Amino acid sequence: MPEIRQNLVTKDWVVIATERAKRPEDFKKKEKSSEQLQEYEKNCPFCPGNEISMSPEETLRVDRNGKWQVRLIPNKFPALSRVGERIRTVQGIKRQLTGVGLHEVVIETPLHNMTTALLPYKDVCDIISSYKLRYNEMINDKRVEMIIIFKNHGEAAGTSLIHPHSQIVATPVVPSQVRERFNDAQKYFDENFECVFCKILCEELSEGTRIVTETKHFVAFIPYAALSPFHCWIYPRRHYSSFGDISEEEVSDFALNLHTTLKKYYYGLDNPDFNYVIRSAPTDLKNLDFFHWYLSIVPRLTKTAGFELGSGMFINSSLPENDAKFLREAKILG
């Protein structure tokens, strides 16, 4: 019989469709690209040699052996403008806010044909360190209320350029979805005198059936009420609400956990398209008892259809316990 599970963090109800559940291996990428990518692409704005003419401005650079390893640049087509003041206006039913903020691209490697899962571990450490540095610089911008770090990998995930990259967007407003989750987390804390994220992590570790990757400071697991197949969360074991407060030791360990988990996706599911996003507290809120930052990975293995749009509920055609076991046992190379 199908189960309807509730995700304690999102408050979403999820139909775990056991009657039509697929085996984890059924979600492997069916179509593989026959295109052989080269290390360098002459028309790619992110490849070495093209950066001066196509993207000369930098906000951060990580060099190694005299060459850049990671570059952060303003997005050429930003969602928000770096110039201007944050101004709110109200006219009757119209609410408006000037579209100011920051939108940057993190070029993760000089190699055009690489993917995060196959990068050397040290390179992933450089990426996470770059996230932290820019996060803590952006947080000082008085116009900024929320900083979102995310990666789109593959066409189904919304990427427009193949060269490995992620993005950082600093917005002048806290989105309603984030506010709702904050309110729910605070309500849970007020009623239960504990952090809902810490509670979930404790129970997941105790049960063990949905754990994917454990490292010293971080745990990757498939949530009990995962919204979609192989949806994964990576939680820090230490309770803190702002990603910007991650320590240097935790940066290295977070890179290890994320790198290992992405490798399991790469080898277990044949390099699926995915999005990941770091969910952190709004910039003016720190040291919160009720919120715990984390990273969410959503492989793009299924599509949202009419039921989800009409009901606000999700249908997951894969058992979270089976997905976690499959990834946990996936054989990775290197």
333 is a domain residue:
no
Taking alpha carbons only, the member of 315, 324, 325, 299 closest to residue 227 is: 315
Instruction: For residue 69, give the H/E element and its range.
Output: strand 67-74
CA distance 63 to 48: 13
* CATH number of residue 93's parent domain: 3.30.428.10
**pLDDT tens digits for the chain (334 residues)?**
789 999 999 999 999 987 666 677 767 776 655 467 899 999 999 999 898 777 778 999 999 988 999 999 999 999 999 999 999 999 999 999 999 999 999 999 999 999 999 999 999 999 999 999 999 999 999 999 999 999 999 999 999 899 999 999 999 999 999 999 999 999 999 999 999 999 999 999 999 999 999 999 999 999 999 999 999 999 999 999 999 999 999 999 999 999 999 999 999 999 999 999 999 999 988 889 999 999 999 999 988 778 888 888 889 999 999 999 999 999 998 6
What pLDDT, on a 0 to 100 scale, did the predictor assign at position 34? 46
Q: At what angle do helices 196-207 and 176-192 cross, to 10 degrees?
A: 80
How many domains does the structure of the chain reveal? 1
Is residue 31 domain-resident? no
CB-based burial of residue 168 (10 Å sphere; 0-12 exposed, 13-18 middle, 19+ buried)? buried
List active site positions. 165
DSSP string, 109-130: -S-TT--GGGS-HHHHHHHHHH
Asked, for residue 112, whether it belongs to a domain, the answer is: yes
* H helices, E strands: number in the chain: 7, 15
Domain assignment present for residue 175? The answer is yes
pLDDT for the residue 32: 57
Residue recorded with tokens 């408006």: 96
Pair of tokens at residue 185:
């987390």
Residue 181, token pair as written in the block: 């989750």
Tokens of 253: 């360990």
The model's pTM is 0.94
Count CA atoms closer than 13 A to 222's CA, side-chain side. Answer: 25
3-state secondary structure 31-54: CCCCCCCCCCCCCCCCCCCCHHHH
Burial 152-167 (b: 16+ CB within 10 A, else e): bbbebbebeebbbbbb
In a domain, 70, yes or no: yes
**Cβ atoms of residues 258 and 121 within 8 Å:** no
- The Cα 169–Cα 239 span in angstroms is 24
Determine the residue type at 182.
F
In a domain, 318, yes or no: yes
pLDDT number for residue 160:
86
Question: Within a domain: residue 46?
Answer: yes
For residues 141 and 85, is the Cβ–Cβ distance under 8 A? no
Burial class from Cβ neighbours inside 10 Å (0-12, 13-18, 19+) for residue 90 reads exposed
Helix, strand, coil percentages, rounded to 5, for the chain:
30, 25, 45
Residue that has been written with the tokens 């050429």 in this structure = 76
> Which domain does 206 fall in, by range?
3-26+37-328
Q: What is the DSSP string of 210-276?
A: TEEEE-SSEEEE--TT-SSTT-EEEEESS--S-GGG--HHHHHHHHHHHHHHHHHHHHHTTS--EEE
Q: Is residue 288 part of a domain?
A: yes
